[in-house]
């Protein structure tokens, strides 16, 4: 059977074209380290890679959420710790202010309590990235407003936030909030740091009462009422210390799990998409050799065929 010269030429051109494309694909894989450059390279693997990358993006958002909540948890703990310092000193003053204290000592204690109230209000009006830390979801205003009389003594401290807290997702189906609200008198929801009707806590009101009794020299009222109220405030603050610690531990665990999942996803994507460089270079060398052989054999055969034609 005689094969036409033009049929061989067409076949040779097609073969050289395929080898050229294959060389280009392998050269690109070797240069980029990526096995998949287009959907046609491996549609099934590409779908798996896209799914893995989508999950990786979601886990990345979880990690950012966790980092933000850790920042808020640390800022909240700093505020709780400062409030506990105020509470501890107020309780100490309530114990010191007994019937043996002179009027001058009681007046000095009252002045100190007045400053402690202002200090606590300043702490509770702390902001983080411009947002109120203890005002609930009312982020654009101070959590507490302090009113004073003509002698600059605090007469009232009013909460103007709310008892709502925003939660964020830190894992699939798992949400958390690292903040605490300044006050909650509703009887449900997050526990208030300063005021909470369930625990009997109302630190500002109790400090103002202590201040007034010190000014009046009423040590009996301090012993009978103020000291007990301050113990309620202290118990409530300790609850928040414990709650904050548990929240930070949970965030650390969630962050570790998210980090492990990110590494696992990266390995899975690499297994699907990365090229085996050593194997790719071997295939590239083989393809280049085949391309050169095709050129040489084609040149030889075409030369002979042309001489036959001239004869």
Separation of alpha carbons 16 and 9, rounded Å: 10
Its pTM stands at 0.78
Q: What number is the average pLDDT over the span 12-25?
A: 63
Q: Is the pLDDT of residue 162 over 70?
A: yes
Separation of alpha carbons 250 and 242, rounded Å: 12
Q: Is the pLDDT of residue 2 over 60?
A: no
Query: What's the confidence (pLDDT) of residue 18?
Result: 67
Query: What's the confidence (pLDDT) of residue 266?
Result: 86
Q: Which two tokens stand for residue 203?
A: 């630190």
Going 120 to 193 to 209 to 227, the CA torsion angle's sign is negative
Q: What would the pLDDT profile of 251-284 be if each residue is shown by its tens digit?
A: 999 999 999 999 999 888 777 766 545 555 555 5
DSSP state of 39: G
Q: What number is the average pLDDT over the span 271-300?
A: 62
Query: What's the confidence (pLDDT) of residue 15?
Result: 64
Place of tokens 């209000």: 121
Which contiguous run of DSSP H or E holds residue 284?
A: helix 277-310
Q: What would the pLDDT profile of 82-130 be if each residue is shown by its tens digit?
A: 999 999 999 999 999 988 889 999 999 999 999 999 999 999 999 999 9
Query: What's the confidence (pLDDT) of residue 263?
Result: 92
Which residue intervals of the chain are DSSP H helices? 5-32, 43-96, 103-124, 203-216, 219-221, 227-273, 277-310
Lowest mean pLDDT among 2-16, 139-153, 239-253: 2-16
Q: Is the pLDDT of residue 59 over 60?
A: yes
Query: What's the confidence (pLDDT) of residue 71?
Result: 97
Query: What's the confidence (pLDDT) of residue 269?
Result: 78
Lowest mean pLDDT among 16-25, 63-72, 84-93: 16-25
Separation of alpha carbons 167 and 66, rounded Å: 11
Q: What number is the average pLDDT over the span 40-59?
A: 83
User: Is beta strand 168-171 parallel, antiparallel or unpaired with respect to 174-176?
Assistant: antiparallel
Query: What's the confidence (pLDDT) of residue 276?
Result: 46
Q: What would the pLDDT profile of 222-257 be if each residue is shown by its tens digit?
A: 999 999 999 999 999 999 999 999 999 999 999 999
Q: What would the pLDDT profile of 178-210 be if each residue is shown by its tens digit?
A: 999 999 999 999 999 999 999 999 999 999 999
Q: Of all residues in the chain, what percent carry a pLDDT higher than 90?
A: 67
Q: Is the pLDDT of residue 40 over 80?
A: no
Q: What number is the average pLDDT over the span 159-171?
A: 96
Q: Write down the mean pLDDT value for the chain.
A: 86
For 227-238, give the secondary structure using H, E and C.
HHHHHHHHHHHH
28 or 72: which leads in pLDDT: 72
Q: Which two tokens stand for residue 92?
A: 């100490």
Lowest mean pLDDT among 47-61, 76-90, 259-273, 285-299: 285-299
What superfamily in CATH does domain 82-266 come from? f41 fragment of flagellin, N-terminal domain (1.20.1330.10)
Pick from 89, 114, 66: which is nearest to 211 by CA? 114
CB 104 within 8 A of CB 132: no
The ranges assigned to domains in the chain are 82-266
Query: What's the confidence (pLDDT) of residue 100?
Result: 87
Query: What's the confidence (pLDDT) of residue 94?
Result: 97
User: Is beta strand 127-128 parallel, antiparallel or unpaired with respect to 154-159?
Assistant: unpaired
Separation of alpha carbons 82 and 120, rounded Å: 8
Query: What's the confidence (pLDDT) of residue 41?
Result: 65
Upper half-sphere CA count for residue 15 (Cβ side, 13 Å)? 17
CB 22 within 8 A of CB 294: no
DSSP state of 215: H
Separation of alpha carbons 126 and 72, rounded Å: 11
């Amino acid at each position: 059977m005689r094969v036409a010269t033009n049929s061989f030429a067409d076949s040779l051109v097609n073969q050289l074209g395929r080898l050229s494309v294959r060389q280009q694909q392998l050269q690109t894989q070797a240069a980029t380290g990526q096995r998949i450059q287009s959907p046609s390279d491996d549609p099934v693997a590409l779908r798996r890679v896209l799914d893995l990358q989508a999950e990786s993006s979601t886990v990345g958002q979880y990690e950012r959420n966790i980092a933000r909540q850790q920042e808020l948890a640390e800022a909240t703990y700093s505020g709780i710790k400062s409030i506990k310092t105020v509470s501890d000193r107020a309780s100490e003053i309530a114990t010191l202010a007994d019937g043996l204290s002179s009027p001058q000592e009681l007046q000095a204690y009252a002045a100190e309590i007045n400053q402690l109230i202002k200090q606590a209000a300043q702490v509770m009006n702390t902001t983080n990235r411009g947002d109120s830390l203890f005002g609930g979801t009312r982020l654009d205003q101070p959590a507490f407003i302090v009113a004073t009389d003509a002698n600059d003594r605090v007469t009232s401290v009013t909460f103007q936030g709310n008892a709502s807290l925003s939660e964020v997702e830190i894992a699939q189906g798992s949400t958390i909030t690292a903040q605490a609200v300044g006050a909650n008198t509703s009887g449900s929801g997050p526990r208030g740091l300063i005021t909470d009707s369930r625990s009997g806590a109302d630190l500002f009101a109790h400090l103002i009462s202590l201040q007034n009794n010190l000014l009046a020299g009423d040590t009996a009222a301090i012993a009978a009422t103020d000291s007990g109220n301050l113990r309620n405030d202290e118990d409530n603050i300790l609850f928040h210390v414990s709650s904050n610690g548990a929240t930070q531990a949970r965030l650390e665990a969630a962050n570790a799990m998210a980090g492990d999942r990110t590494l696992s996803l990266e390995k899975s994507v690499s297994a699907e998409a990365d090229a085996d460089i050593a194997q790719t270079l071997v295939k590239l060398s083989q393809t280049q050799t085949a391309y050169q052989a095709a050129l040489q054999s084609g040149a030889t055969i075409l030369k002979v065929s042309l001489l036959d034609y001239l004869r």
